[in-house]
Chain A
Amino acid sequence: MSATTAAPVWTKMRPKQGALSRLFDWKPFLAFVCLLPAVGLLMTFLTYPLGLGIWLAFTDTTIGREGIWVGLENFIWLMDDPIFWSAVFFSVFYTGVATIGKFALGLWLALLLNQHVPFKSMLRAIILLPWIVPTVLSAIAFWWIYDPQFSIISYLFVDVLGWRDQNIDFINTAWPARWSLIAANIWRGIPFVAITLLAGLQTIPPSLYEAALLDGASGWQRFRYITFPMLLPILAIVMTFSIIFTFTDFQLVYAITRGGPVNSTHLLATLAFQRGIQGGQLGEGAAIAVSMIPFLVFATLFSYYGLARRKWQQGEGND
């Protein structure tokens, strides 16, 4: 703090400057100017639409027609809609199973990479590829892998290994389609989880493991009482991000099944798109999108407590 308060005293001793440059040296003005582009853009294209979306959810707006306030009608309508409830169920199920899968496999991969492996940095680079490539494009590749007739996985199981007599049905009935989507989501999520957790693993001081070894701790004990607790803060943050972006996922489902067969794989986001943009019922679509908010608030609070715990562990004050 002393540094910033000392600064204006020195500025007075400078040679005389123009009014404009003195204005730009006046801190409140400079701070205002610096924040203007970012805050302006975010206010216009994020905060305002967020409010507008909530307002739209209480109107009967359609494309091309201004709506009127209808109160909770959209929500009451949705309460009786089995497709909406199926989307809620699948969103929760998809998020739950995919998150567990991603974190179990991602943590395992991170632990593997944390050991001495040849070509480690190259491995790390290759592993991140699924995350870098546009999701829709890798989803199209999965769509092709899940093809009912020419699926390569079916070929492997039927013709090469001979474990099955007929092609596997991936996306043409409800439950297989759900599991196929979850598998694709886990595939895409593993790299992000593994690389961020690897970064967390590398910050754990080796001396802790040495001390544990001297005390005779087993491999599992070292993981349970050192690795896991030390990793927990970063795990909480990564998990919050992962949960939020899995719950509101759109691309994978839209690319692979478009919510079918018979609306069984709709997530809330794809259902909102189908009703709001394709069907033109902006009010109803907005209501579906808004119903995701309570869940997101919950996940954000989770993140907040994760962060608070991390600061406490590092001995930092709340600056």
Chain B
Amino acid sequence: MTEAAVNAPEAKSTNTSSAQLETMAWDSKSRRFVLLYLPLCCFLIILLFPFYWMTVTAFKPNAELYNFAEHNPFWITSPTLDHIRMLLFETAYPRWLWTTMLVSVCATVLSLFASVLAAYAIQRLRFKGSQYVGLAIYLAYLVPPSILFIPLATMVFQLGLFDTPFALILTYPTFLIPFCTWLLIGYFKSIPFELEECALIDGATRVQILWQITLPLAVPGLISAGIFSFTLSWNEFIYALAFIQSSENKTVPVAILTELVTGDVYQWGALMAGSLLGSLPVAIFYSFFVDYYVSSLTGAVKE
């Protein structure tokens, strides 16, 4: 139901006396332009500009970067790969990418495993007090990392995990499991219970039912939870900043901020190239699974 379509009959019936008003109401094209396309374009430009600026800066030679008088800053006259080459061959960037990938994948697998079982138990086994466990897990999602990182840092130190990827692999599930569990509870809810009853009658065990019936049907939910966990782990910052000290174990977001920012002169070209390369994996990943992202984002909120 569009604004214009809604207004047209109204205008016809009520404003017949005023010719000017009628033309204004009928003039739906310009009205739509001002009320819809213009604001939408502004939103798009503002939301995308930092990425454009990041990209432009990453491929600009230093001479152009700091000389607005002779070069139009919005465009590149002689693009260069210098910043990216420097990043890949003169810093430990590939190593940081690899660490981030490893940590994200391991944390995601661990969280998915724990969440699938927990969501199945809460939604399908329906033991006494299962809804309280569900509520407790929901509340766990509301505990932000900012109030946990200091005690976690002391724990990580005492466990001897400080400065190892395991510190991150084990702590990331604290915010991934609540999210995934809630998402999967919603998905399991949508799978008809009758299917499981049929399987029970046919003599399947509970484990067989979970493995052969519920899980295959919940694959879209698993994909949503998986890609979301991966993105959240990739983007995580405060734990990685607090628990990792040596340069080679850092994740990309932390390393760019702590290793590439050196001295008083910021290497903006390299910084932007690093940000761009660090964003690309998630952005590519995202472009393949847009619908899953949207459904998990909205699904998790709606549950």
Contacts and interface: CB of A to CB of B under 8 A. Distances in A.
A187 B193 CA distance: 43
A7 B197 contact: yes
A206 B48 CA distance: 32
A10 to B, nearest CB: 6
B203 A192 contact: no
A155 B153 CA distance: 43
A129 B283 contact: yes
A196 B47 contact: no
Contacts of A152: 53, 73-74
Interface string A170-183: 00000000000000
A17 B181 CA distance: 31
Interface stretch (B15-23, B83-91, B123-131): B123-131
Contact of A53 (B122, B150, B238, B256): B150
Main secondary structure of the interface of A (DSSP, over half): helix
B53 to A, nearest CB: 6
A282 B150 contact: yes
B98 interface: no
Chain B interface size range: 35 or more
B269 to A, nearest CB: 10
B297 interface: yes
A126 B147 contact: no
Chain A interface size range: 35 or more
Contacts of B140: 42, 46-47
A11 B202 CA distance: 9
B298 interface: yes
B133 to A, nearest CB: 7
Which of B57, B65, B130 is most buried by chain A, counting CB atoms within 10 A of its CB? B57
Contacts, number: 304
B144 A296 contact: yes
A248 interface: yes
B133 A46 contact: no
Contact of A244 (B68, B142, B253): B142
A244 B145 CA distance: 11
A276 interface: yes
Given A128-B294, A136-B253, A141 B54 contact: yes
B150 A150 contact: no
A273 B151 CA distance: 12
Interface string A5-48: 01100110011010001001101101101111111011001111
Given A39-B118, A191-B47, A56 B151 contact: yes
B201 to A, nearest CB: 6
Interface of A: 3-4, 6-7, 10-11, 14-15, 17, 21, 24-25, 27-28, 30-31, 33-39, 41-42, 45-50, 52-53, 56, 61, 105, 108-109, 112-113, 115-117, 121, 123-130, 132-138, 140-142, 144-145, 147, 149-150, 152, 155, 159, 187, 190-192, 195-196, 199-200, 206, 209, 213, 219, 234, 237-238, 240-241, 244-245, 248-251, 254-255, 268-269, 272-273, 276-277, 282, 285-286, 289-290, 292-293, 296, 299-300, 303, 319
Given A155-B68, A244-B142, 6 more contacts: A38-B177, A42-B173, A134-B235, A134-B282, A138-B279, A277-B149
Interface of B: 1-3, 6, 10, 36, 39-40, 43-44, 46-48, 50-51, 53-54, 57, 65-66, 68, 73-74, 110, 113-115, 117-118, 120-122, 125-127, 130-131, 133, 137, 139-140, 142-155, 170-171, 173-174, 177-178, 181, 193, 197, 200-201, 203, 205-207, 231, 234-235, 237-238, 241-242, 252-254, 256-257, 268, 271-272, 274-275, 278-279, 282-283, 286-287, 290-291, 293-294, 297-298, 301-302
